[in-house]
Amino acid sequence: MVSAGDFRNGVTFEMDGQVLQIIEFQHVKPGKGAAFVRTKCRNVITGAVVERTFNPTDKFENAFVERRDMQYLYQDGDLYYFMDTETYEQLPLNGDKLGDSFKFVTENMIVKVLSYKGNVFGVEPPLFVDLVITETEPGVKGDTATNVTKIAKLETGAEVRVPIFINEGEKIRIDTRTGEYLERSKE
């Protein structure tokens, strides 16, 4: 059990049949009246974010979200297959459980498969991935204005904005949380 007075960022708990994770919290002690805890919570299964206030003495069940390392194998129709790297068991998942950041995942990449009480609800790719650019316009010599970007298509089919000096065939590093170009890959 966790009480609302003990909330910290990242704490997961179960409330009304939903699994919530604290994104932000603030303990408020007004001049008049009782203290309360103001929070911003994310539903870990649906991704919805809600703001709620709690009495510091409210108690909730801890929710343990399991994160298992699995290797992404291949896609067959709407099913995506993952393999547990320890037991070699394969797990097929529907595309609706993958999320937007999955567009940066290539075959054989290790990802984290998220589950709660045995029910898989999401997939987390690595925070940073190195991918090859398959299509982009060539950079124009002398065009050196600051922050000029162009669209580049990656080996996974995803599109990102990159600086104009980046060329086709180069390997770049992407932040999968934001989908932004970070730098040329050092590999």
18-76 pLDDT per residue, tens: 888 888 888 888 888 888 888 898 888 777 888 988 888 889 888 888 888 999 999 88
Closest C-alpha to 137, from 158, 174, 163, 173:
163
Work out the burial of residue 171: count CB atoms within 10 Å of its CB; fewer than 13 is exposed, 13-18 middle, 19 or more buried: middle
| 128-184: CATH class | mainly beta
Query: CA quadruple 67, 175, 154, 158: dihedral positive or negative?
Result: positive
Q: Where are the domains of the chain?
A: 2-62, 66-124, 128-184
Select from 3.30.499.10, 2.30.30.30, 1.10.10.60, 2.60.40.420 the CATH code of 2-62.
2.30.30.30
CATH topology agreement for domains 2-62 and 128-184: no
Q: Which whole number is the average pLDDT over 101-108?
A: 88
| 66-124: CATH class | mainly beta
Examine the pLDDT at 136 and tell me if it is beyond 90: no
